[in-house]
């Protein structure tokens, strides 16, 4: 067998089927340098995780783009609050469960600081900046929010293979509990005095992207360096513009460089007195330079920022937006340069992003919170047992959750779409009402009350004015912008204006 035949006979794995797995001199690989074939939690480690959280928090405090993006997520994922709508077969039980849960929402915080709606917002903000948040279910029926940096491995358990960054697991990888560190008098987390919380008594809200992953990763992690570089560029550009603004005009003299003491009253505090010193002075905060005959300066006017500054930043914002699921127009709230069709496409993507986050928050946090609190209401005798379905299973867990109203993206189009969905039978009043934080049955009942009131008003008006023939529909239409009452027969005895 010659050399060529021996090369052809080499195992296929030496050939490299994908260019992405090939290490070249021009393109070094991240694998085995920054990325290892280990699980995500050991790949990042507690130290790097803490660094990421600190960097994200710093950007949130000081970077207007990050602050705006994070708050925009919280506003559109939570809105005015994600509200529970019980959906068992017993309407009276549903109303009582909703009432109890709504009242509890006002005092849900164990620390007595914020409403449940603010806790929902904190969960969204925490996913962006820390990757996760935790909530201890207390014996008293309240929840105790816990920041991600308090989830730590106890000092004497760092060698325990079944404790991974503060989380205890069994040999199969099933989570058993969490170690929560206390803060000392300086606000630092103390891993020498931790509290172990069984998994049944805590809600861990995160969004893992790998099956073996235990801890969350900040959503801002992929764009931390990009945002930090943009921040440095902005500061450097502003600093250069400030320095350029200090330079005024250049003055030529007939005999050479001007003698600073002989500059007269233009400057009371000359900067130079020797021929070797810089030949300039300051007038009203601007530097005035003296140059020799034959020398020239093209311009002392500032060219900072350059013409490429804004396009470069717009490009970087598109990179950031692609990671966060937000178009750059949404990040900057600037839609002037986009067409209607492109804005509509961008808003459709924004809607999908926010709805997915809303589902995540409901599934990972609110549903479990409802199950726990409603069960506790029943156990404590504050709520009767939930009805039983045909299979003999309690319906206490049956609940739907409101979503923020996204009709502001296209108000008229949203109404038209809902009307078409209703006519085609693919949409319901309950579905539409849920988008506004209400219940379908409640919305229909409110509509009935409105019609009854309008009917009564129309009857009273017709009794007072014989021949008026006012209908309840006319009363409703008079209260709606752009609506005109339907024409009615003129009252008896009325005279036409033309006759």
Beta-carbon neighbour count of residue 297 at 10 Å? 11
Per-residue pLDDT, 310: 86
Per-residue pLDDT, 326: 87
Beta strands in 316-415 (DSSP E): 399-401
Q: When comparing pLDDT for 225 and 293, which is higher? A: 225
d(CA 89, CA 227): 51
d(CA 136, CA 158): 24
Q: What is the mean pLDDT of the chain?
A: 81
pTM summary value: 0.74
Per-residue pLDDT, 374: 96
Phi and psi angles of residue 5, each rounded to the nearest 5 degrees, phi first? -65, -35
Dihedral sign computed on CA atoms, order 196, 200, 201, 206: positive
**CA angle, residues 219, 221, 222, in degrees to nearest 5:** 100
Q: What is the mean pLDDT of residues 339-346?
A: 72
Q: How far is CA 446 from the centre of its chain?
A: 33
List, for residues 147-181, the tens digit of each pLDDT value. 999 999 999 999 999 999 999 999 999 999 999 99
DSSP alpha helix (H) spans, 145-259: 224-245
Per-residue pLDDT, 56: 95
Tokens representing 100?
């109890």
pLDDT of residue 220 exceeding 90, the answer is yes
DSSP class per residue in 36-77: -SS-HHHHHHHHHHHHHHHHHHHHHHH-HHHHHHHHHHHHHH
Crossing angle for the helix pair 64-78 and 309-324, to the nearest 10 degrees: 30
Contact in structure between 354 and 406 (CB atoms under 8 Å): yes
Q: Picking from 148-157, 360-369, 414-423, which range would have the lowest pLDDT averaged per residue?
A: 414-423
Q: Picking from 68-77, 107-116, 442-451, which range would have the lowest pLDDT averaged per residue?
A: 442-451
Nearest CA to 126 out of 332, 365, 435 is that of 365
Element (H, E) at 163: strand 163-164
Please state, for a pLDDT cut of 90, what percent of the chain lies above it.
45
List, for residues 258-308, the tens digit of each pLDDT value. 444 444 434 434 444 455 555 666 766 666 666 666 555 555 566 778 888
Q: What is the mean pLDDT of residues 352-373?
A: 95
Name the 3-class secondary structure at 33.
coil
Nearest CA to 435 out of 488, 360, 342, 358 is that of 358
Pairing mode, strands 286-291 and 247-252: parallel
């Amino acid at each position: 067998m010659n050399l060529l035949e021996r090369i052809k006979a080499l195992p296929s794995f030496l050939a490299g089927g994908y260019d992405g797995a090939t290490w070249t001199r021009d393109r070094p690989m991240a694998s085995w340098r920054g990325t290892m074939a280990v699980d995500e939690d050991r790949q990042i480690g507690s130290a790097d995780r803490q660094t990421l959280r600190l960097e994200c928090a710093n950007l949130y405090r000081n970077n207007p783009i990050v602050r705006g993006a994070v708050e925009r997520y919280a506003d559109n994922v939570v809105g005015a609050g994600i509200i529970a709508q019980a959906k068992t077969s017993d309407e009276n039980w549903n109303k009582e469960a909703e009432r109890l849960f709504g009242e509890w929402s006002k005092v849900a915080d164990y620390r007595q600081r914020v409403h449940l709606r603010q806790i929902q917002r904190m969960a969204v903000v925490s996913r962006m900046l820390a990757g996760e948040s935790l909530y201890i279910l207390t014996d008293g029926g309240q929840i105790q929010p816990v920041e991600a940096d308090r989830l730590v491995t106890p000092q004497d358990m760092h060698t325990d293979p079944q404790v991974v960054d503060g989380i205890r697991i069994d040999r199969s990888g099933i989570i058993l509990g969490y170690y929560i560190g206390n803060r000392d008098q300086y606000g630092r987390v103390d891993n020498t005095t931790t509290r172990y919380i069984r998994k049944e008594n805590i809600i861990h809200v995160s969004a893992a992207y790998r099956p073996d992953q235990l801890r969350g990763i900040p959503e801002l992690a992929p764009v931390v360096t990009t945002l930090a570089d943009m921040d440095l560029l902005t500061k450097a550009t502003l600093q250069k513009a400030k320095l350029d603004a200090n330079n005024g005009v250049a003055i030529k003299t007939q005999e050479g460089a001007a003698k600073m003491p002989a500059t007269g009253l233009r400057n009371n505090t000359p900067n130079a007195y020797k021929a070797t010193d810089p030949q300039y002075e300051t007038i009203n905060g601007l530097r005035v330079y003296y140059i020799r005959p034959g020398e020239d300066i093209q311009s002392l006017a500032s060219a900072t920022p350059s013409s490429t500054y804004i396009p470069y930043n717009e490009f970087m914002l598109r990179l950031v937006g692609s990671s966060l699921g937000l178009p750059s127009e949404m990040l900057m709230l600037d839609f002037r340069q986009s067409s209607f069709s492109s804005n509509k496409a961008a808003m459709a993507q924004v809607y999908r992003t926010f709805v997915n986050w809303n589902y995540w928050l409901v599934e990972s946090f609110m549903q479990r919170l409802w199950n726990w609190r409603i069960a506790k209401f029943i156990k404590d005798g504050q709520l009767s047992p939930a009805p039983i379905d045909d299979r003999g299973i309690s319906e206490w867990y049956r609940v739907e959750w409101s979503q923020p109203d996204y009709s502001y993206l296209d108000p008229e189009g949203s109404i038209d779409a809902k009307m078409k969905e209703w006519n085609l039978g693919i949409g319901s009043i309950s579905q539409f009402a849920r988008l506004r934080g209400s219940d379908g049955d409640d919305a229909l009942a409110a509509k009935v009350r409105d019609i009854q009131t309008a009917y009564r008003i129309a009857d009273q008006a017709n009794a007072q004015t014989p021949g008026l023939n006012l209908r309840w529909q006319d009363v409703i239409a008079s209260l709606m912008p752009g609506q005109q009452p339907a024409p009615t027969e003129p009252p008896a005895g009325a005279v036409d204006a033309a006759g």
